[in-house]
Amino acid sequence: MLIVGCGYVGRRVAALHLARGEPVVGLVRSAASAQALEREGIAAIGTDLDGSPADLPTRGERVYYFAPPPESGTTDPRLAAFLAGLARSGQPRRIVYIGTTGIYGDCHGEWVDESRPANPSVDRAHRRWDAECRLRDWSATTGGELVVLRVAGIYGPGRLPLDRLRRGLPMVPEDEAPWTNRIHADDLAAVCVAAMDRAPSGAVYNVSDGHPGNMADYFNRVADLAGLPRPPVIRLADADGRLSEGLLSYLRESRRLDNRRMLHELGVALRYPTLYAGLPACLAGDHRGTEPA
C-alpha cells in the first residue's frame, strides 16, 4: 500500500490500514514530514515528485494519489511525471485519486451528481481536470484500476478557518454567499479505504456529507463555536482587493453536491453527516486552525 502525498488525509487513511495489520508506505516531500510518518509507524519515502523521484514501490500495488498539483498553470505535471515513472517502477493494480469538485465549475446552486459534465473555469480546476483525464488515459492504456474521488472542502481538527477569524477578515453576507460542501477528514479517510476495497474500476464519486450549507453561515458557526467574533460583513461588490483572489474564486461558484452514489455504492456510514455534527469535535481537540480559506 503506497500513499503518494501522505499528509493530513493520507495519515488518516494510513492509520485505518495499519489498524487492519496492513503495512503502509507514505511518500512526502520534506524530511520533517517523513520523520512524522515514521513516528506513526508509516514507512516513509521522502522525495520531491517535481524532481527526479526514486523508483517507487508501485508494481502490482494499491496506490492512493493525494499529492496536490503545483500552484500555478492549467495542467498537473506532477501527476504526469508520477504516471510516466510507472513504466519504470511497475504499474500499480489500482489507483485511488483525490480530486476536487471544482471541476464542475459554477452550477448556480444546482444539485450536482457525477454525471454532470466537467466545466472547469479557474486554473485550479483546470489542473484537477487535467489530472483526472491523465489518470483515465493511464487506466485505459495499462488496464490499471482507477477510482476518482471528487472531494468537497475538507475540515477537521486543525483544519478550520480560525486564523482567518482571528485576523478579523471579512466575509460576504448570507444572501450573497454561495452554497458550500464539506466532508470531515475522518469520513473522507473511511471513503478512501472503501473506494480502495470495493469501488468498481472506473468509478467516480462525489465525496461530501450531502448537507450543503451557506459559506457565510459556515464562518459564523465556526466563530461561534470557537468563541471568536463573527467576520465583519462586506458586500460582494466591495470585495475586490479586500478578499483574496483565491477566496473570491470560491465565492463565484455555487453548487450542491449529491453524494448518494458514494453512500450507496461504497456503503459508508458517515460519522459526521452534517457540519454541525462534525464541528464541535474538531474544536474540542484542537484550536490551531490552518485552513487557508
Ligand X SMILES: NC(=O)c1ccc[n+]([C@@H]2O[C@H](COP(=O)([O-])OP(=O)(O)OC[C@H]3O[C@@H](n4cnc5c(N)ncnc54)[C@H](OP(=O)(O)O)[C@@H]3O)[C@@H](O)[C@H]2O)c1
Q: Which of residues 61-90 bind ligand X (CB under 6 A)?
A: 66-68, 78
The correct pick among 96, 148, 154, 266 for binding ligand X (CB under 6 A) is 154
Q: Which is nearer to ligand X, 35 or 141 (CB)?
A: 35
Q: Which of residues 35-54 bind ligand X (CB under 6 A)?
A: 48-50
Grid coordinates belonging to 262: 458514494
Residue least distant from ligand X (Cβ): 7
Grid coordinates belonging to 210: 450531502
The correct pick among 1, 2, 33, 220 for binding ligand X (CB under 6 A) is 33
**Closest distance of CB 20 from ligand X, Å:** 20
**Closest distance of CB 165 from ligand X, Å:** 17
The correct pick among 105, 120, 153, 289 for binding ligand X (CB under 6 A) is 153
Pairing of strands 204-207, 256-257: unpaired
The correct pick among 5, 105, 144, 231 for binding ligand X (CB under 6 A) is 5
Supply angle C-alpha 132, 99, 236, rounded to 5: 115
The correct pick among 22, 23, 30, 242 for binding ligand X (CB under 6 A) is 30
| CA dist., res. 179 & res. 176, Å (int) | 10
Q: Which of residues 212-251 bind ligand X (CB under 6 A)?
A: none
Angle between helices 185-198 and 8-19 (to 10 degrees): 60
Closest CA to 12 of 146, 159, 192, 182: 192
Grid coordinates belonging to 201: 474500476
9 makes contact with ligand X (CB under 6 A): yes
| CA dist., res. 26 & res. 23, Å (int) | 10
**Closest distance of CB 26 from ligand X, Å:** 7
**Closest distance of CB 223 from ligand X, Å:** 19
289 makes contact with ligand X (CB under 6 A): no
8-state DSSP, 138 = H
Q: Which is nearer to ligand X, 97 or 138 (CB)?
A: 97
169 Cβ contact partners less than 8 Å away, ≥ 6 residues apart? 231, 243
**Closest distance of CB 66 from ligand X, Å:** 4
129 makes contact with ligand X (CB under 6 A): no
| CA dist., res. 41 & res. 287, Å (int) | 26
CB atoms within 10 A of CB 82: 24
Cβ 100 vs Cβ 151: under 8 Å = yes
206 makes contact with ligand X (CB under 6 A): no
What number of chain residues touch ligand X (CB under 6 A)? 23
Grid coordinates belonging to 63: 496506490
Site for ligand X, rule CB under 6 A: 5-10, 27-30, 33, 48-50, 66-68, 78, 98, 100, 151, 153-154
